[in-house]
């Protein structure tokens, strides 16, 4: 649960608490004790005859923050300025943060501390570093050398809870390699080229001479792209050294 106010332009998950003819009040789920208001003009595009055709008490939805007045404690929200894709992404992020809160409870219990003390000791810092607490749990689960500069009992417990409860999402990218040689020992030379694959994240599959499928599996696209780029470069350099004809064609992995 966040402590301060959202920023203008932020997407927020809300629960509708009161619907009136001119607008609706809503609690901001991610901000403790914060309430916002959706004016009827921000409910939907075009003219809204009956606001209850769009909103009802108890409904959870996603809004965009239009204005924040901390002196009055008021937050103006818009429903119509959130597209379906943004709504799905935000709801997914919010559900992950709910899971992160439950995982933090496990960490706090294991440490014999309260949630509040854990948030103050390291929770808020992790949110600042990663953007969300759940991303911190994901990184802790994926990286054996997580936050090497940090010492303390909480770090070991946090990482153990992460590994026990968080499934790391992976992406796959790939393409096709063609490698051939007219040399008398061409097969051996091709094997040397293919042998430049030295990462567990890279797999080669025989696709019928002279084609091989290459598949890279990494936690995110940036890492996958870098691994693929490095691997193909190493194979191209070895091909030039050995006189092997080498071509790579990008193809989405299926």
- Per-residue pLDDT of 114-141, as tens digits, reads 999 999 999 999 988 888 899 899 889 9
CB 231 within 8 A of CB 216: yes
Domains of the chain: 11-82 (2.40.50.140), 85-165 (1.10.150.190), 171-250 (3.30.70.1130)
State the Cα–Cα distance between residues 232 and 178, nearest whole angstrom.
12
- Per-residue pLDDT of 164-179, as tens digits, reads 999 877 788 889 999 9
CB 78 within 8 A of CB 67: no
* DSSP annotation of 7: P
Task: Specify the residue for token string 């009956």.
Answer: 50
Count the Cβ atoms, other than its own, within 10 Å of residue 46: 7
Determine which helix (DSSP H) or strand (DSSP E) holds 99, and give its type and residue range.
Answer: helix 84-111
State the Cα–Cα distance between residues 246 and 52, nearest whole angstrom.
64
Task: Specify the residue for token string 């990482």.
Answer: 159
CB 137 within 8 A of CB 100: yes
Quote the mean pLDDT of the chain: 91
- Per-residue pLDDT of 60-72, as tens digits, reads 999 999 999 999 9
């Amino acid at each position: 649960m966040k402590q301060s106010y959202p920023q203008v332009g932020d997407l927020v998950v809300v629960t509708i608490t009161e619907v009136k003819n001119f607008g609706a009040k809503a609690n901001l789920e991610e901000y403790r004790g914060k309430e916002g208001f959706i004016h009827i003009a921000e409910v939907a595009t075009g003219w809204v005859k009956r606001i209850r055709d769009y909103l009802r008490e108890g409904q959870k939805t996603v809004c965009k923050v239009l204005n924040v007045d901390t002196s009055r404690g008021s937050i103006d929200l818009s429903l119509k300025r959130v597209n379906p894709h943004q709504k799905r992404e935000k709801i997914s992020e919010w559900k992950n943060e709910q899971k992160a809160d439950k995982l933090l409870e496990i960490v706090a219990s294991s440490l014999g501390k309260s949630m509040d003390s854990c948030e103050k000791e390291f929770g808020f810092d992790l949110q600042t570093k990663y953007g969300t607490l759940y991303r911190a749990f994901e990184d802790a689960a994926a990286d054996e050398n997580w936050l090497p500069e940090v010492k303390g009992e909480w770090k070991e417990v946090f990482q153990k809870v992460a590994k026990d409860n968080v499934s790391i999402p992976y992406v796959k990218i790939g393409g096709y390699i063609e490698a051939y040689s007219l040399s008398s020992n061409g097969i051996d030379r091709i094997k040397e080229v293919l042998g430049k694959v030295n990462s567990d994240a890279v797999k080669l599959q025989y696709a019928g001479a002279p084609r091989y499928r290459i598949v890279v599996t990494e936690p995110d696209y940036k890492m996958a792209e870098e691994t693929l780029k490095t691997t193909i470069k190493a194979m191209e350099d070895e091909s030039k050294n050995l006189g092997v004809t080498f071509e790579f064609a990008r193809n989405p992995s299926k």
